[in-house]
Amino acid sequence: MGSLFEDIDDTIFDDKDVLAEEYQPDEILERDDEIGQYKHTLKDVLFGRNPTNVMLYGKAGVGKTAVTTYVLNELQAEAETRDETSDVHVHRFNCNGETVFSTVRALVNQLLPAHAADFPKRGLSTSDALEEFYSQLERVGGTHLVVFDELDHLEDANTLLYDIPRARAKGDLEDARIGIIGISNNYKFRDRLSSKVRDALNEDEIAFSTYTANELQNILRDRAEKALVDDGFDESAIRLAAALAAKDNGSARQALDLLRKGGEIAERNDDSTVTEHHIDAARDAVRRGRLKDKISDQSTHAQLVLEAMARIENRGDTPARSKEVMSVYQEVAVDREQEPLSTLKSVQNHLSDLTMLGFLTQNQVNEGRGGGVYHEYELDMTPDVVFGTCDELFATTF
């Protein structure tokens, strides 16, 4: 009996990894303006000055992380060529679902010498963790840039963003220098910070707009030429994938997913070229996958609020006011063995964020002097996608 896979001897992909989410291109296309802003903001590092803090805003898939990686790699490489420039160290951490303590602890562990024991998970305070963090920064020396991805999901971001920028002023750092690079999908994140934190942070902002269809075509064509064999794609596939992603949310990640999935469908059908028909066939699978990823990217309580909206939608009770959502959210939190948020304002903040991200639609209702003005919410996706994703997410928690 022959091998199960012996008949597989050809592939439409030359380098499929080029279409993967974690792939870092050598050249960043269609982000010259943002790279230019970044370059200007971080130039002080090359002259031994304190780094300027930076906040990046934009929807998922618009290049924030890729541009950050590219710019920081270039900065480190340039610093190595200059004798007068101190070493530049880059630390990265994803804040989704994290506390200030767990975040600082993770950074400490990145800095500790290889032979040292990890910083304890329990028994010490956030102040203890920050003290050790500064101690390790001083030990290593040089300039440190800390990249906080999904910073808007960090529990009590005010504490972290107030303490770190003031480290030298307080005497916690003398030789080492530190700068914060925050990445957020939430344009309103800064508004939630206290005024004293905004003053301490004193950051430069870089906003990443969504990609246009033409920009996505250029990105897709470049990746397709690297990922697929010669003559492995038709221009019709590039145009359709770009148009679909631009119409949805302007995400390069979504466009690349469409191209990858289209290639897999073409390969399954023994077709040698990816065409618009393969992209069209990939639409539903990619959309469901993207929705699941977007839900997974949210904080725990945002997921619970979204599941509450899905329950309300499923029983036909939408549009719903925030008080109704609050009631169902508390039920969902108990069912998922989570401690629910206690204030209506907290739930309203999550509803606002979920609306901005495209999960919900919001309508303003004006009932005049007697009834006042309030908002009602509806789910803007299939409830089954929310239920299935939340079942998977919370099943892995316990």
Q: Are 75 and 88 in contact (CB under 8 A)?
A: yes
The tokens for 304 are 């619970």
- The helix or strand, by DSSP H or E, that contains position 183, with its residue range, turns out to be strand 177-184
Is 285 annotated for ligand binding? no
Rounded to the nearest 5 percent, the helix, strand and coil shares of the chain are: 55, 15, 30
- The helix or strand, by DSSP H or E, that contains position 362, with its residue range, turns out to be strand 360-366
From CA 135, how far away is CA 128, in angstroms rounded?
11
Is 300 annotated for ligand binding? no
From CA 325, how far away is CA 351, in angstroms rounded?
9
Is 308 annotated for ligand binding? no
Crossing angle of helices 100-111 and 126-140, rounded to 10°: 30
Is 371 annotated for ligand binding? no
Q: In 103-160, which ranges are E strands?
A: 143-149
> Given CA atoms 147, 153, 155, 158 in this order, what sign does their dihedral have?
positive
Of 328, 334, 323, the C-alpha closest to 305 is: 328
Is 62 annotated for ligand binding? yes
Is 250 annotated for ligand binding? no
> What does the DSSP assignment read for 371-382?
H-EEEEEEE-S-
Is 211 annotated for ligand binding? yes
- Give the annotated binding-site residues: 62-66, 211, 223
- Give the annotated binding-site residues for ATP: 62-66, 211, 223
